[in-house]
């Protein structure tokens, strides 16, 4: 015996077609003609059972609490409750409203959804949010180069000549100055040319670094909101 929750592959679900359905007391109800899978888990959640003397009626039965064997399924409800279940469109997926109507029918029958529990008890169920993630493209990125202009300051030492008067009575005083440089010579008009350094700015291209593009995962939290349904129980009495 296995439970519907243990049927994790579509092949296992397909094996339910044609299986004999037994009610909670072991009485034969009919055979499975269709299997409905849960949208979130892909596990079988409902089966459509062909009932009636000539197999002309179809009833939907939930598989919660069912026991599944190789050739039959034993569900948690009696035959009368199953045959009186509301009808659904043949072959159409179950909507949330359809499921709600069917669950209310089976819960109102007063039978336990788990075999072995006494009459008058009931399992209350509720939905819960199941959140998964998927990887989707959000954009594209590539490297490209473009020119930007910025100012850069560099301090360089500069020198300039200043006039200095020297007196030397030696015969070699006219040959060189104290720095072994040729002594400045005044022009024919008596003026002396003074020299100074000035900065000359040029540019050159140099490689500074190698850049490549890559990705890094950044984790953040996001709050999601969804609607869930929960079953509530009430006691019905027949004062008559």
The tens digit of pLDDT for each residue in 34-58 reads: 888 887 788 888 889 988 666 578 8
The tens digit of pLDDT for each residue in 16-35 reads: 888 999 998 899 999 998 88
pLDDT: is 196 or 90 the higher one?
Answer: 196
- pLDDT for position 89: 59
Q: In the 8-state DSSP scheme, what is residue 19?
A: P
pLDDT: is 187 or 133 the higher one?
Answer: 133
The tens digit of pLDDT for each residue in 64-81 reads: 888 998 889 999 899 889
Residues 206-211, mean pLDDT to the nearest whole number? 93
Contact 107, 63 (CB under 8 A): no
Architecture per CATH, domain 4-108, reads as Alpha-Beta Complex (3.90)
pLDDT over 80 (residue 177): no
- pTM, two decimals, is 0.44
pLDDT: is 32 or 5 the higher one?
Answer: 32
Tell me the DSSP string of 100-137. HHHHHHHHHTT--SSTTPPTT-----B-----------
- pLDDT for position 117: 44
pLDDT band at 112 (very low <50, low <70, confident <90, very high): very low
Contact 21, 81 (CB under 8 A): no
* Cα gap 199→157, rounded to integer Å: 9
- pLDDT for position 236: 80
Residue ranges covered by each domain of the chain: 4-108
pLDDT band at 115 (very low <50, low <70, confident <90, very high): very low
pLDDT band at 113 (very low <50, low <70, confident <90, very high): very low
Question: What's the mean per-residue pLDDT of the chain?
Answer: 82
């Amino acid at each position: 015996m296995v439970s519907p929750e243990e049927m994790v592959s579509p092949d296992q679900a397909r094996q339910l077609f044609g299986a004999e359905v037994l009610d909670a007391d072991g009485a034969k109800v009919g055979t499975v003609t269709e299997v409905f899978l849960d949208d979130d888990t892909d596990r079988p959640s409902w089966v459509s059972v062909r009932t009636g003397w000539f197999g002309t009626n179809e009833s939907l039965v939930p598989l919660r609490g069912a026991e599944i064997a190789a050739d039959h399924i034993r569900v948690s409800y009696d035959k009368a409750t199953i045959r009186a279940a509301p009808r659904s469109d043949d072959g159409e997926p179950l909507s949330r409203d359809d499921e709600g109507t069917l669950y209310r029918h089976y819960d109102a029958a007063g039978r336990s959804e788990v075999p072995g529990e006494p009459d008058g008890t009931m399992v209350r169920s509720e939905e819960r949010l199941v959140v998964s993630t998927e990887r989707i493209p959000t954009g594209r990125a590539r490297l490209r180069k473009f020119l930007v202009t910025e100012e850069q300051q560099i301090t360089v030492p500069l020198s300039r000549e200043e006039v200095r008067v020297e007196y030397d009575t030696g015969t070699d005083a006219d040959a060189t100055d104290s720095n072994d440089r040729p002594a400045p010579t005044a022009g024919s008009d008596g003026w002396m040319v003074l020299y100074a350094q000035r900065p000359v700015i040029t540019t050159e291209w140099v490689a500074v670094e190698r850049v490549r593009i890559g990705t890094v995962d950044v984790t953040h939290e996001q709050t999601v909101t969804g609607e869930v349904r929960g079953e509530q129980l009430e006691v019905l009495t027949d004062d008559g």
